[in-house]
Amino acid sequence: MLSYMRHMYTQVPTRHRRPPTQRQPSHSKRYFSYLLVAALLIIVIRIAITHSSSAIPEVKSGIIGYCLDDHRGRLVENNPVDSWSCNGTAAQNWTVAGDTITHDKNYCLSVAGNGSQAGDKIVLADCDGSSGQVWASAVDGLENPDSGRCLAIPSDKTSAQLTLASCGELTLPNEAWQAAGYHKNDTAGASISCSGTEGQKVACYAAKQWVVWNSGTVNHSILLNDYSDDNGYEEWCADFISYVYQQAGYPFHYGERDGWDEYLAYNIQNQGGFTYHAAAGYTPRAGDVAYFDYSDGHVEIVAVGGTKPIFIYGDSGTTDPSTGNGDMAENSITNDGTKGQVIYYLSPS
């Protein structure tokens, strides 16, 4: 009995065979199937290598579900930078620090050829500190201060190579970008290079101070003293204008203190070298001074010109938590309700 049971449990099961009517696949067909599987595996492996998944810091587009992307994950000079579905891959791994956006440590988000015109392409390039690799926060977008233009996805597209745009749609999805930690660990904006016309330089220096102020690397009390020429805290919108013009190489000649330093908003127009433009019908340009008819007057610098300009200014109406005094601000407001509106622009020569 035991031997019978042992024999029963050690029997090899009968193999199932196909019915005689089913034809066996030929060797050539089986070989083709193996090749097809192998090819699919190679494609999958290549995709995995190109976009190896990891927990990474993404720069997200205002178009929901899309991110800043190194096209096909290629680490080569002048590789296109595009928008692509957010996928947590290495191709979308960007480090945002101060005024640069780097990829794989050695490559920077760059305007091809350091261009400055709307439509110029955005690429990867070796990090060299050139003006085409500088990016500053501008409302909801990212501005290249030297050109006064912004990072954008071409209109009506989602997966496309990025370009420079006029910064006219920063509140719309294709020009909006969200980068975690932006303005952190900045080196006081030292790498921002400013060139071009007087207005472009002024706008660039205003953007530079915006980066410095938001970086946290310089004490705000020290910055306020710099802007006001060591005269302590005051309503500093005009101080900031005169400081930026001085830093850009165009100091005021008739300032109320050290020549360049002007602290009354209305008196900015008396400094000379400006062309007056009524706000109605005028398209402001980078570096213009915008005068608002608020109580006691108020002035702001046009950081980015156009039909929807971007302003940077000292805002005494808000409180900077680190000093208890005024904060620096940036926005596109030309009419602030009952508070007032911009009534004219002063354009540098």
2-39: pLDDT as tens digits: 343 344 434 444 333 334 444 555 555 555 454 444 44
In this structure, the answer to whether residues 225 and 143 fall within a common structural domain is: no
Domain limit, last residue, from 152, 179, 206: 179
- CB-based contact 135:152 (threshold 8 Å): no
User: Of 234, 227, 232, which is closest to residue 301 (Cα–Cα)?
Assistant: 227
Position 3 in a domain: no
Q: Residues 165, 271: one domain?
A: no
Whether residue 161 sits in one domain with residue 114: yes
Provide the pLDDT for residue 232: 66
Q: What secondary structure letter does DSSP report for 308?
A: S
Residues 161 and 209 in one domain: no
Domain that holds residue 122: 59-179
Q: Would residue 115 count as lying in a domain?
A: yes
Residues 63 and 169 in one domain: yes
Average pLDDT, the chain: 80
Assess whether 156 and 294 both reside in one domain.
no
Q: What is the DSSP string of 145-211?
A: TTTTEEEEPPTT-SSSB-EEE-STTTTSGGG-EEETTTTTT--TTTT----SSHHHHHHHHHHHHHH
On whether residue 192 sits in a domain, the answer given is: no
The one-letter code for the residue type at 11 is: Q
Report the side by side order of strands in the sheet with 66-70: 81-85, 66-70, 59-61, 177-179
3-state percent breakdown (helix, strand, coil) of the chain, nearest 5? 25, 25, 50
Structure letter (DSSP) for residue 140: T
Using 50 as the pLDDT threshold, list the residues of the chain that sit under it: 1-22, 32, 34-55, 181-188
> Residues 62, 64, 68, 72: is their CA dihedral positive or negative?
negative
Quick one: 310 and 202 in the same domain? Answer: yes
At 133, which CATH number?
2.80.10.50
Q: Is 290 helix (H, G, I), strand (E, B) or coil?
A: strand
Contact assessment for residue 134 and residue 102, using Cβ atoms and an 8 Å cutoff: no
Tell me: do 212 and 334 sit in the same domain.
Answer: yes
63 in the same domain as 109? yes
Q: How many CB atoms lie within 10 A of CB 141?
A: 25
The structural domain count of the chain equals 2
Do residues 312 and 340 share a domain? yes
Please check whether residues 220 and 169 belong to one and the same domain. Answer: no
pLDDT digits (tens, 9 = 90+) for 239-274: 999 999 999 999 998 888 888 988 889 999 889 889
Q: Is residue 155 part of a domain?
A: yes
Where are the extended beta strands (E) located within 1-105? 59-61, 66-70, 81-85, 95-97, 100-103
Residue 216: predicted pLDDT? 74
| C-alpha 175: how far from chain center | 9
Last residue of a domain, one of 127, 152, 179: 179
**pLDDT at residue 342, rounded to an integer:** 97
